[in-house]
A and B are shown apart, each in its own frame.
Chain A
Amino acid sequence: MFNIIFFVLLGLGVLFCFLRLLLGPTIVDRAVALDTFSTVTSSILVFLALFFKRGIYLDVALVYAILAFVGSIVIARYIEKGI
């Protein structure tokens, strides 16, 4: 029962991030949508590790969170004309 509720809420989060990613007028909207999506998706991976009871999925979530942060930082430096 709680699994169904978690899946529906996380699916709604992914769907709204996706809509903002496609419809966003400026580049800043898309960058923020990608960052929010990476946060939601790392929580999805942790939940899947709980659901399947396998520890290696937590490693995937860890690498995912670190490298999505790097990508977001690179896009932000591009927007402020830093690099």
Chain B
Amino acid sequence: MNPCEFCIPFIILLTWIAAVYVIFAKKIMHAVIVTGFVSLIASVLFLLMKAPDVALTEASIGAGLTIAIFVFAIRKIEQKEGKDGKR
């Protein structure tokens, strides 16, 4: 058993803890940042399972696009509601 296959259950446990934290986060920006963490570590998990093309797609969409779109949407909502100090 090589050490990479030995690492996979720990990485799955880490992803699970982060995903549960996303559900119970107090502020929405914390949830967005931890979502980026989950997406990044899922990319490593795909790569350890020997699927580098899926890992490439997950890294490009999850790391760059999802965080950017979420942050722009939160900023638009805050500007529309007019309450700026709550974050």
Contact = CB atoms under 8 A, between A and B. Distances in A.
B6 to A, nearest CB: 9
Interface residues of B, number: 36
The DSSP consensus for interface residues of chain B is helix
Contacts of A44: 44
Contacts, number: 96
Contact of B47 (A21, A22, A57, A78): A57
B14 A45 contact: no
A14 to B, nearest CB: 7
A48 to B, nearest CB: 7
A34 B41 CA distance: 11
A60 B52 contact: yes
Given A37-B40, A63-B60, A64-B43, A75 B67 contact: yes
